[in-house]
Chain A
Amino acid sequence: MTHARFFIQVTGFRRIVCPALVVARRRNPAGRRIRLIVSVLAVAGLVLYGQDASAVRPFVTDDARVVYPGQLEVENFGGMTMGRDRKPGFEIRSLQGTSVTDRLEIIAGGFGFQYENNTMTPQDLVFQPKYVLYRSFGLVPSVSAAAAVLAPLSGNRQLWNSYHMMHVSWFLFTPQDSTDPYDNDLAIHVNLGAKGQYHAGLGGRWTNKLYWATGFEVMTPISRELRVLGEIFNGDPFSFEEEFPAYQVGFRWYKTPNLQWDFVVRGVRDGGIGSGIGAGIETGPGWNYTVQIGLRFLVDDVFPFR
């Protein structure tokens, strides 16, 4: 594939996000910042096109694998959330991570913005260590544990969200001629944990909720590089308020071993009178839907860990 075609794909990503940018440009000069961020991500995608590595984060929530030591992992996504009787909200986000050992991965960042009701706010920052407790391929699952805290940049600075969870993942049906252990025809994961919220303004009150998720990624008959993914979960772990029923379905295209595109539709049912879900975008009662495009890539040997 030529770089020109690749650029068209990247600019296609911008076109989808473009309605938000048009609104933002008319009413809020901060919209230029979103355009700048999208442009930077597009250029990064172009620069990194063709390098060799392995994509490792198949699900939005997470699973029991980490990147190779020293690799830089960048996960970018942008989306539009729609709900009944509400104006669409837009978000864009970038997560960064690396592994310091063969089993310990650190995710940090979450730089991004959301735009809704003519207002742009930063996204919460994330810090998440994850440790692979047991690594296996085939019928015996891999197991990892992760914990995270989110710095409340997007809203009430007295509310600190967190989560911890165990991941149990099966990486199945690796072709015999493939030496990439994560080149699987089918991957399944189950996550179980808890979401927590610390309210500093109420005398330091802690509140916890059960968290769970289960999902799969399976190859399509069209191509091994094109996968279908699906997941149901008890709300996004980044959002304390979000609860079941929540789901996402979509496609994942392994453009190169180190670069993948996602197209995902998420649905979350708000059983109350409307609240903030996902990355903080407000929703109305009933079902709310998010159309999301993700670009994930890895760069080898960025950090001196081996």
Chain B
Amino acid sequence: MKLKLTVTGFAAVKFLGTTVLSLAFAGCGLDGVRGTVVSVEENRYVIRDGRGREWHVHADERSHRDHVQAGEEVRVYVTKEGYAAFIQRLQ
């Protein structure tokens, strides 16, 4: 009985913890963006997503990226600061 209560208590704490963590960390880390390349200038890209928002992102030698041109559709994983870890051209 004591073990069951302990586990139930753990489940309740875990559920609460999950909720709090979800609220605290929601949206952290890399964002995934799908859009069309508006312009490319060396390591700087401008991408327009499906809602019409423009994302200014930059890449470096550590970025995993396809060679893309303006007008092509891409999926990008980007930090809040605009660093693109992945730039993937969609077929």
Instruction: Spell out A's residues near B (CB within 8 Å).
Output: 52, 68-69, 102-103, 131-137, 142-143, 145, 147, 164, 166, 174, 176-181, 192-194, 196, 206-210, 306
Please determine whether B29 and A208 come into contact, CB atoms closer than 8 angstroms.
Answer: no
List 3 tightest A-B contacts by C-beta distance, closest first: A208-B11, A194-B11, A135-B29
Selected contact of A137 from candidates B28, B31, B49, B85, CB within 8 Å: B85
User: Does B43 interact with chain A (Cβ within 8 Å)?
Assistant: no
Question: In B21-61, which residues have CB < 8 Å from any A CB?
Answer: 21-22, 25-34, 49-50
Report if A133-B15 is in contact (Cβ < 8 Å); known contacts: A52-B91, A68-B75, A306-B50: no
- Cα-based distance from A136 to B7 in the complex (angstroms): 31
Other A-B pairs, 4, CB within 8 Å; known A142-B29, A306-B34: A102-B32, A103-B27, A135-B29, A177-B64
Report if A131-B22 is in contact (Cβ < 8 Å); known contacts: A194-B11, A208-B11: yes
Nearest CB to that of A175 among chain B residues? B64
Least distance between B1 CB and chain A CB atoms (Å)? 12
- Cα-based distance from A193 to B15 in the complex (angstroms): 8
Contact bitstring B54-91, A, C-beta under 8 A = 1, else 0? 00000000001110000000010100000001111101
Instruction: Spell out B's residues near A (CB within 8 Å).
Output: 4, 7-8, 10-11, 14-15, 18, 21-22, 25-34, 49-50, 64-66, 75, 77, 85-89, 91
Please determine whether A181 and B15 come into contact, CB atoms closer than 8 angstroms.
Answer: no
Residues of chain A within 8 A of B33, CB atoms compared: 102
Selected contact of B28 from candidates A134, A164, A209, A306, CB within 8 Å: A134
- Cα-based distance from A137 to B78 in the complex (angstroms): 11
Please determine whether B10 and A208 come into contact, CB atoms closer than 8 angstroms.
Answer: yes
Please determine whether A174 and B64 come into contact, CB atoms closer than 8 angstroms.
Answer: yes
Report if A206-B34 is in contact (Cβ < 8 Å); known contacts: A68-B75, A179-B64: no
- Cα-based distance from A160 to B29 in the complex (angstroms): 35
- Cα-based distance from A174 to B64 in the complex (angstroms): 9
Please determine whether B66 and A166 come into contact, CB atoms closer than 8 angstroms.
Answer: no
Most chain B CB within 10 A, of A52, A136, A179, A209, is at: A179
Residues of chain B within 8 A of A133, CB atoms compared: 21-22, 25-26, 28-29
Residues of chain A within 8 A of B28, CB atoms compared: 133-135
Please determine whether B64 and A131 come into contact, CB atoms closer than 8 angstroms.
Answer: no
- Between-chain CB contacts (< 8 Å), 9 pairs: A103-B26, A133-B29, A135-B31, A136-B29, A145-B18, A177-B64, A179-B86, A208-B10, A210-B7
Please determine whether B7 and A209 come into contact, CB atoms closer than 8 angstroms.
Answer: yes
Least distance between B69 CB and chain A CB atoms (Å)? 15
Residues of chain A within 8 A of B66, CB atoms compared: 179
Please determine whether A210 and B10 come into contact, CB atoms closer than 8 angstroms.
Answer: yes
Residues of chain A within 8 A of B77, CB atoms compared: 135, 137, 181
